[in-house]
A and B are shown apart, each in its own frame.
Chain A
Amino acid sequence: MSQSPHVLTVTDEWKKPRPSIDEDNAEFWEALTQHKLLVWKCKTCGEVYWPKSYCKNHENEPFAEECEWVEASGRGKLFAFNIHHWAFHPGFKEEVPYYYALIELDEGPLISSQLVGDVMPPNIHTVGQTVEIVYEDHPNEGFTLPKFRIIDG
């Protein structure tokens, strides 16, 4: 496993469930492999969504007509988290306990992923730390997972 500040490259055999990629999120997953985190933005009012949605601020607007994927900052705040002590799927046996977190992106939407890195929140009551995306590349599998690390811990 090689490591740079924002990218992890993992070449181990993938034994976990694969990402669920469909028509609505293919672009999002493709952008991750290029180390870009996309969010869905309304060109009219600037409201930001994730995942893809109709803009709730406008009536009778055909889907995606006035919205587009834009690159997000990749930063946000820790909103809530849990610590998985059980591996429900055998693929996670080597990983427990792991931190699975809700991140409130600076652009607004919530996204969830695992926390990585050396700094973990001290207790369940302590949230609001600044986090930053870490792109976990799986070149043998053809996808990149967005994970997050605490940078102001």
Chain B
Amino acid sequence: MAKHPSSGKYAIVGLGVVAGPQPGRSERMIAAEAARLAMEDAGLTRDDIDGAIDLRRSGGGGDRASYSDPFTRVLGLKNNYYFTCGRGGALAGLGMAAAMSFIDRGISNHVMLMGAVTDWSQAQESRKKGFRGMAHTEKRGYWGKPLGDSRAVSHHSWMAARHMAVYGTTSPQLGAISVAQRQWACMNPEAKMYGRPMTIEDHQNSPWVVEPYHLFDMSQVSDGGVAFILTTAERARDLRRDPVYVIGQGFSEVSADLWWEKKNFTHMAVEPAKTQAFGQADVTLEDVDCAQFYDCFTGEVLFQIEDYGWCKKGEGGAFVEDGNMAPGGTIPINTSGGLLSCYHLGDLTGLAESVRQIRGECGERQIEDCEVVLTTGHGGELVSPGMCSIHTCTLLGKHA
């Protein structure tokens, strides 16, 4: 096999992160600030940014980031185009694919990609009205609302439940995922759960929210924003920071066959996306130094470990129980703490951590000689009664 001509042709050259609760700040101001930080990081100015993509967690969950005044105007960017892009928790991967097309055709030199949310602040407000979780994202029009299908956990938890019924996976095994990610978060000062270690007992003692999910099987609700800038590999070499190359990307859909085969409750649509991305980059699983999986719930992490092939289907529980994804394990996974323990900015959480790992900026949690990182996204519509979701697979590399 040989690399695809597109592998290593584009690079991430700037990263901006606004993390932690942002009470009193609008989404657009968080967005603009994340974008400014990304420009500062890259050593670029407003005049350099000639395209902008606003990454939105729209789709099945609702159009949660909706403001009429784009962050680009607030910040004073001089971009030629601006549009929104995203599907559930799959935003960064899709946005990058679009951005690379614009760069490839000479329409842009530097594309700003940015996603911001104020879910945490808004959830505080809806709580006062008797709702729990993200009531502001509620979308009319799906099957289960009158039947008690109220939140993502109402139907995502079937994935863990079905896996448990078919393969005998246990709640403490899911807890091992949560504990491993908390161990990573305790080495990440930016993580919400920094300084708050957790044990399996803590996981088991956390309240049932929707059994088989305890509270600690669920991702957080966060405020914040992540922005990053894509350009050509050639241009990247002249800029301030070491380039982080996009070496492979692939996409696949649950509705292709998993949905019809009813396998979407034990499998994610990994295979085609993995084949595309790993083929472009001409790498194998052994080349991956760490993985940043989309982890809305612990079950999704378990599925991806199996579906990518780090262990066989059904053996993920034992694999995580043995500490394989934790610090010191065979394949470090979600080294920032992930959506479970760092912050929930969709797949931008994993994207930001991937860039930092390749740059070698991760301090105590830095993976030694980190050259290839796998980062994924996941999201879609709630179709009666399951979910149709996209899986996005992005490989980033230290070398083109």
Contact = CB atoms under 8 A, between A and B. Distances in A.
B164 A100 contact: no
Interface in A68-93: 79-90, 92
Nearest to A51: B384
B202 interface: no
A74 B386 CA distance: 19
Nearest to A16: B146
A50 B168 CA distance: 29
Interface in A89-108: 89-90, 92, 95, 97-98, 100, 102, 104
A84 B386 CA distance: 17
B165 A102 contact: no
A53 B385 CA distance: 14
Interface residues of B, number: 41
Given A88-B151, A100-B149, A80 B132 contact: no
Given A92-B148, A104-B262, A111-B385, A82 B131 contact: no
A33 interface: no
A114 B262 CA distance: 19
Contacts of A147: 147
Contact of A89 (B131, B161, B210, B384): B131
B150 A125 contact: no
Interface stretch (B137-145, B193-201, B302-310, B363-371): B137-145
Contacts of A97: 208, 211
A145 interface: yes
B149 A112 contact: yes
Contact of B165 (A22, A92, A112, A126): A126
B210 A110 contact: no
A86 B210 contact: yes
Given A85-B208, A85-B209, A110-B262, A124 B150 contact: no
A86 B158 CA distance: 16
B208 A90 contact: no
Nearest to B145: A17
Contact of A124 (B142, B154, B212, B384): B212
B43 interface: no
Contact of A20 (B131, B145, B386): B145
Interface centre among B130, B133, B146, B385 (most CB of A within 10 A): B146
Contact of A84 (B164, B168, B210): B210
B233 interface: no
B145 A16 contact: yes
Contact of A22 (B131, B141, B146, B385): B141
A108 B228 CA distance: 46
Contacts of A20: 140-143, 145
Interface SS of chain B: loop
A58 interface: no
Contacts of B151: 88
A102 B209 contact: no
> In the complex, which of the residues B168, B211, B213, B265 has the most CB atoms of chain A within 10 Å of its own CB atom?
B211
Contacts of B272: none
Contacts of A82: 154, 157-158, 161, 210-213
A84 B148 contact: yes
Contacts of B209: 85-86
A3 to B, nearest CB: 19
B165 A127 contact: yes
Contacts of A126: 165
A104 to B, nearest CB: 7
Given A56-B260, A82-B210, A112 B131 contact: no
B29 interface: no
Contacts of B130: 90
A122 interface: no
B69 to A, nearest CB: 31
A19 B146 contact: yes
Contacts of B210: 82-86, 100
A79 B263 CA distance: 11
22 contacts: A18-B145, A20-B145, A51-B143, A51-B384, A56-B260, A79-B262, A80-B161, A81-B158, A82-B158, A82-B211, A83-B211, A85-B209, A85-B211, A86-B209, A87-B150, A90-B131, A92-B148, A100-B147, A111-B384, A111-B385, A124-B165, A147-B147
Interface of B: 129-133, 135, 140-151, 154-155, 157-158, 161-162, 164-165, 168, 207-213, 260, 262, 265, 383-386
Nearest 4 interchain pairs by C-beta:
A112-B385, A17-B145, A88-B150, A80-B162
Given A112-B143, A112-B384, 8 more contacts: A82-B211, A84-B210, A87-B132, A88-B150, A90-B129, A90-B131, A102-B386, A112-B385
